[in-house]
Amino acid sequence: MSNTRQSAGYSAWRAPILFAVLAILFVLEGTVRNSMFSGSWNTSLAILNMGLLSAITALGVNMQWGYAGLFNVGVVGFLALGGLAPVLVSLPPVENAWQAGGSRLLAALAVGVGVLAIAKLVWTRTRSGLAITAILIAGFVAYRYLFDPAVIAIEANNPSRHGNIGGLGLPVLLSWLVGGLFAAVAAWAIGKVALGLRSDYLAIATLGIGEIIVAVMKNEDWLARGVKNITSIPRPVAYEVDLQNNPDFVGFAQSWGFQAAEASGIWVKLSYMTLFLVVLLVLILLAELALKSPWGRMMRAIRDNETAAEAMGKDVTRRHLQVFILGSAVIGIAGAMMVTLDGLLTPTSYNPLRYTFLIWVMVIVGGSGNNWGAVLGAVTIWFLWIKVEVWGPALIGLLTAAMPDGPLKLHLLDSAPHMRFIAMGLVLLLVLRFAPRGLLPEK
Amino acid sequence: MDILNALVVFLNFVFIPAAAYGAQLALGALGVTLIYGILRFSNFAHGDTMAFGTAVVILVTWGLQSMGVSLGPLPTALLALPFGIAATAALVLATDRAVYRFYRVKKAAPIILVMASVGVMFVMNGLTRLLIGVSEYRFDDGARFIINVRDFREWSGLPEGLALRSTQALTLVVAVIVVAALFWFLNRTKSGKAMRAYSDNEDLALLSGIDPERVVRLTWIIAASLATIAGTLYGLDKSFKAFNYFQILLPIFAAAIVGGLGSPLGAIAGGFLVAFSEVAVTYPWVKVVGYLAPGYEPGGLMQLLGTEYKFAVSFVILIVVLLFRPTGLFRGKSV
């Protein structure tokens, strides 16, 4: 594929026209009410907001795939890890949780990291497998000795309402950066192990880390209450109820011809949209600047011919690690933003289909290697993903309308939701084969 | 010390389940490793190939049961197995023709093939859901136990019981037969030798007049048979649920990589290594220790990791192998 990446040149109007078509779709969704569109601005903006977050995620994936050809199959894990940040940073502290076992918990985590570091140091010095095994076993015992009582104490603290360690009470916007940092650290650990080996290994290792991060978040109740979920994460924007009680806002809404309830929802979504757009544009600006710099040229040179780049003295593995960390950090930021938008963290909702593979379809369809392509692909595919839920059953209903009632018709009607999988797989395969450069090819 | 009881507990809760699970993983990993050896990419769709094959087997089993056909003490699914294999082989051959061949002819980078296999994974996942739905099914019939707990207690007079389910014994027997047949095929027949030659050196194989498309077709048929057998055995032993087959992908990859991708012997060793580690690490050892050291009262369950983290075990094994021996225990190939 590397030789088909560079485009033969396409019309300068292509990107603006495609974005305009997309904008028209959203306007239709907001204004026209029929069997295809909902005619509600609230729905339209809700789809757009999630689409923008998908676009930021796709941007991160595009850095890894489009700039460096790294296949990350654990996007869901990095998103989930980023989602942990708003909980740990911006929730108010839980009373007595830190007194119950906070310091012991921190000590346990420090011992865990310390043991790994010592093991690494001993290995590079002595290359003795026996010493490593002894250190790791002793370290594991010490870790569990510190960790278990701390966790039991924290989880026993007001378990019906909390039972978790709680947050720091800092602004939620700060947590977006922290989310990126969490994901970057995880990416560093994975990249250090799996990069520099054959390309499939990174895919398999990221598949594993994705599953494990989600498993940890489901089962470690002290961290974010596990499957009991965290609700009421602070918002960076106004609350609907406050707006509806504000006479100035109600008057403002009426001057535009909206009911206060509907207008407050729209206002909140517009505020989120503004925040997301700012983050997205800043990230694109940075990414574009990086791509046009000598660093970006080097990255593309490495992607297109690793051997030649290595012969020119470029440290391929180090550069891959760098871009893998950067991309994962962007995914982590998006994860934190998603949780902020929802206001709740539900670890069970992180399934790989929605949060890894759908993102991949977005990147491939949009045009790998092109940041605007990733954004276009993300928002388009997200819009279709949501609307297919409405259109799919309607289509099957239409197709089966002529059929006599019976088990087969019932089966076909029931199976409409499964069509999404087939449709997504087919889109991925078809685009990969017939239009590998996507909607907006790399320039 | 009560070594006998400790041994019975160990056999009952660790050894027998891990051996059956290991055989299932080994069969799955053999498929992955063969595809890697011949087609040179990690097939992410393998788990869903297993699911598809098993779904067909279940449907045929239901058909046979409704016609009143049964194998007596053996599960009816064994009779349905050939139908499942045929359907799965047809599906993967069609996939190869429609998807993979294009990239093979173009000599695309392996990672593109991996990505295509992710697309195939989706389509197969959707097909399985269309075929049988997302619920959980049990389809084992026939005799449930070869040794059951009560009989064993009466026979031995020990307080601890030992159970050997027929599906566990069946898994091991079938796995041994399948592996023996596969190794006979690879080492003794002309086609098997052609496959190994192609895997070792593609260009040299071409020069010797080996038809690459025939080798690839054979590989897919063998991989589909292995996947269907592994999936059916796994489903008989536990239960069938489409999503579980996606999750089993990680242990299967770990097994194939531990043994060395492309090495059939390694895949078998890797399967058992991963299975035994997984069961040993997530099993609460308190009962075994209680029999071995009667005076000792441990505080907890003596469980190293909760069962919900069993996939972490395969992952850690994977990481350790990648760190210290990236070609695997049996020196697989590297691209």
CB contacts, 8 Å: B247 with chain A: 211
Residue B329 covered by a domain = no
Each residue of A51-101: pLDDT tens digit?
A: 999 999 999 999 998 888 888 989 999 999 999 999 888 888 887 777 777
Contact between B152 and B161 (Cβ < 8 Å): yes
CB atoms B247 and A211 under 8 Å:
yes
Average pLDDT of span A331-359 = 90
Q: What angle do CA B114, B119, B122 make, to 5 degrees?
A: 125
Is residue B111 within 8 angstroms of chain A, CB to CB? Answer: yes
Average pLDDT of span A249-258 = 83
pLDDT score recorded for residue A101: 78
A231 vs A214, higher pLDDT:
A214
Contact between A227 and A347 (Cβ < 8 Å): yes
Is residue B29 within 8 angstroms of chain A, CB to CB? Answer: no
Residue B332 covered by a domain = no
Choose among A148, A414, A425: nearest Cβ to B126: A425
Give chain A's mean pLDDT: 85
Domain count for chain B: 1
pLDDT score recorded for residue A340: 92
CB contacts, 8 Å: A208 with chain B: 250, 254, 311, 314-315, 318
Each residue of A36-49: pLDDT tens digit?
A: 788 788 888 999 99
Domain that holds residue B105: 3-324
Q: How confident is the model at residue A8 (pLDDT cuts 50, 70, 90)?
A: low
Choose among B122, B247, B306: nearest Cβ to A421: B122
Contact between B170 and B192 (Cβ < 8 Å): no
pLDDT score recorded for residue B299: 67
pLDDT over 70, % of chain A: 97
Contact between B168 and B23 (Cβ < 8 Å): no
CB atoms A432 and B318 under 8 Å:
no
Copy the structure tokens of residue B325: 């021996």
Q: Has residue A5 got a pLDDT over 60?
A: no
pLDDT score recorded for residue B332: 62
Q: Has residue A153 got a pLDDT over 90?
A: no
Alpha helices, H only, B260-309: 264-282, 286-292
Query: Taking Cα atoms as reference points, which of A316, A56, A66 lies closest to residue A191?
Result: A316
Each residue of A365-419: pLDDT tens digit?
A: 888 888 898 999 999 999 988 887 777 777 777 777 777 777 777 777 777 777 7
Distances (CA, A) of A195 to A124, A181, A188, B113, B327: 19, 20, 10, 19, 14
| C-alpha distance from B123 to closest chain A C-alpha (Å) | 4
Q: Has residue A9 got a pLDDT over 90?
A: no
Q: Is A123 exposed, middle or buried (0-12, 13-18, 19+ CB in 10 A)?
A: middle
- Mean pLDDT of successive 10-residue stretches along chain B, which has 335 residues: 82 90 94 90 92 94 87 85 95 93 88 89 88 83 80 82 86 92 92 89 87 91 95 90 86 90 88 92 83 74 79 86 80 57
CATH number at residue B243: 1.10.3470
pLDDT score recorded for residue A326: 94
Q: Which amino acid is at A320?
A: H
pLDDT score recorded for residue B335: 44
A168 vs A336, higher pLDDT:
A336
pTM: 0.88
pLDDT score recorded for residue B226: 94
Q: Which residue of A has its CA nearest to B133?
A: A415
pLDDT over 90, % of chain A: 22
Window 241-280 of B: residues touching A by CB (8 A cutoff) are 246-247, 249-250, 253-254, 257, 261
| C-alpha distance from B6 to closest chain A C-alpha (Å) | 24
Q: Cβ–Cβ contacts within 10 Å for residue A385, how many?
A: 20
Q: Tell me how far apart the alpha carbons of residues A410 and A396 are, in angstroms, rounded to a whole number.
A: 11
